[in-house]
Amino acid sequence: MFQNKKILLGVTGGIAAYKAVDLASRLTKLGAEVYTIMTTNACELISPVTFKSITHQKVVTKMFDPNADIEHISLADWADIVIIAPATANIIGKVAHGIADDLLSTTIMATTAPVCFVPAMNIHMYENPIVQENVANLTEHGYFFMEPEFGKLACGYEGKGRFPKTQEIVYFLHTHLNYKRDLIGKKILITAGASREEIDPMRFITNHSSGKMGIALARAAHFRGAEVTLIHSVVTEEIPEYLNAIKTISAKEMYEAVLREFPKNEIVIKAAAVADYTPAIKAVQKIKKKDSLNLELTGTKDILAELGKQKKADQILVGFAAESENIIQNAKEKLEKKNLDFIAANDLSVSGKDNTEIILLGKKTELKLSGTKFEVAHQILDQILGKKSE
């Protein structure tokens, strides 16, 4: 994911500084060359030796070091991307006001590479209007910010201020290294997961969909600046808390939620695996064990077909077709019949995996896309944006 990429990690004096070790380790394992700059206060909380051992690269802490073998701003030119994690209120305030009084703030000021901040601090510090103003000013100047997570903070308070999960930071960084914030102002509706159709209070019918592709699409669209609504059924991974998520269980609930949200969105991507059939009668009591059982199923409403009928000229509708045979032929028929702009056809074997291979079909497109579901999600978004500019 970061093969041969030069990442400059800035670590400041927040209590989450120790969590930056896991981030440095993950980025290194993903192929990046990671150099670290630590502030004097960060060195009070964690040792530079830890980062050096993890990254096998230089860790610098001082601007005026006669023995240092790197020029004071050379790392600013070296980096493909800079990430400050954790970012204290102090470093955000300094950069927002043009202060360059140590190696990290001077490097941030001197670099032309994208700069990403991952703030982590006490809830009252984060909500302080001065900090918020600084974040807004820096955002306006093209710096990228990842929102802290909600939860129990080291200071004892509960609220927004926690250092995000390493994997989410990896996705955030990957996006800013490779893509622009080209979805700002766009509203996108994405569905994910496997629906559950109740047979009785104990049993249900479902399918193998993990929801990973839909969540990957939602994540990628969010980091590119879109306002994302994720309507999901049962998924096998945690839904990132920065997403506006609506939970549904059955095909009927999914139908109602999607139809309600559809008119508010410009782009709609339906990656959920919704049941085609549901039990004709849902037993109120648990069905007793017998030698055999005949279950009568009735068809559910076809959400994608209904959206295709209601679609306005300025809306883009994308469907997924998981098939076990005649993948392209079946997907092409679905594209036409349901009035879709694109359809992503894949083989059932990718279900639940982190990697995927799809054929994206549009009226003028037939493209094979492969990689992690997150990378493929970005490629699908590129194609959708390409269509908008046709």
Ligand X SMILES: Cc1cc2nc3c(=O)[nH]c(=O)nc-3n(C[C@H](O)[C@H](O)[C@H](O)COP(=O)(O)O)c2cc1C
By CB under 6 A, name the one of 8, 84, 120, 192 that touches ligand X.
120
Q: Which residues contact 63 (CB under 8 A, 6 or more apart)?
A: 72, 102, 103, 106
Name the phi and psi angles at 299, rounded to 5.
-70, 145
User: CA triplet 14, 16, 21: central angle to 5 degrees?
Assistant: 120
Based on CB atoms, which residue is closest to ligand X, 27 or 45? 45
Report the distance separating Cα 332 and Cα 359, nearest Å: 11
DSSP single-letter state for residue 182: T
**Residue located via tokens 């998924």:** 235
Binding mask 65-104 for ligand X (x = CB under 6 A): -----------------------xxxx-------------
Q: Three-class SS of residue 342?
A: strand
**Residues 297, 277: contact at Cβ < 8 Å?**
yes
DSSP single-letter state for residue 57: S
Of the listed pieces 34-42, 70-78, 229-237, 246-254, which binds ligand X according to CB under 6 A? 34-42
How many chain residues are in contact with ligand X, going by CB under 6 A?
Answer: 15
Compute the least distance from the CB of residue 337 to ligand X, in Å: 55
Of the listed pieces 1-9, 10-18, 254-262, 267-275, which binds ligand X according to CB under 6 A? 10-18
Based on CB atoms, which residue is closest to ligand X, 10 or 362? 10
**Should residue 13 be labelled a site residue for ligand X when binding is judged by CB under 6 A?**
yes
Of the listed pieces 117-125, 168-176, 281-289, 337-345, which binds ligand X according to CB under 6 A? 117-125
Based on CB atoms, which residue is closest to ligand X, 37 or 230? 37
Counting Cβ atoms within 10 Å, is residue 49 exposed (0-12), middle (13-18) or buried (19+)?
Answer: exposed
Of the listed pieces 12-20, 27-35, 246-254, 269-277, which binds ligand X according to CB under 6 A? 12-20
By CB under 6 A, name the one of 21, 42, 177, 272 that touches ligand X.
42
Compute the least distance from the CB of residue 93 to ligand X, in Å: 9
Compute the least distance from the CB of residue 96 to ligand X, in Å: 13
Specify the pairing of strand 149-152 against strand 158-162.
antiparallel
By CB under 6 A, name the one of 6, 15, 305, 379 that touches ligand X.
15
Among candidate residues 43, 155, 305, 327, the one labeled active-site is: 155
Give yes or no: 155 in active site.
Answer: yes
For residue 26, which of 148, 175, 168, 147 has the smallest C-alpha distance? 168
Burial profile 62-78: b = 16 or more Cβ within 10 angstroms, e = fewer: ebeeeeeeeebbebbeb
Based on CB atoms, which residue is closest to ligand X, 36 or 210? 36
**Residues 331, 345: contact at Cβ < 8 Å?**
yes
For residue 374, which of 208, 274, 224, 245 has the smallest C-alpha distance? 224
Longest CA span, the chain: 85
**Should residue 28 be labelled a site residue for ligand X when binding is judged by CB under 6 A?**
no
Based on CB atoms, which residue is closest to ligand X, 73 or 154? 154
Of the listed pieces 35-43, 171-179, 182-190, 202-210, which binds ligand X according to CB under 6 A? 35-43
Binding mask 228-257 for ligand X (x = CB under 6 A): ------------------------------
For residue 92, which of 48, 47, 137, 61 has the smallest C-alpha distance? 137
Compute the least distance from the CB of residue 156 to ligand X, in Å: 12
**Should residue 32 be labelled a site residue for ligand X when binding is judged by CB under 6 A?**
no
Compute the least distance from the CB of residue 255 to ligand X, in Å: 45
The DSSP string of 1-44 is: --TT-EEEEEE-SSGGGGHHHHHHHHHHHTT-EEEEEE-HHHHH
Report the distance separating Cα 1 and Cα 345, nearest Å: 24
What are the residues binding ligand X (CB under 6 A)? 12-16, 39, 41-42, 88-91, 120-121, 125
Active site residues: 155
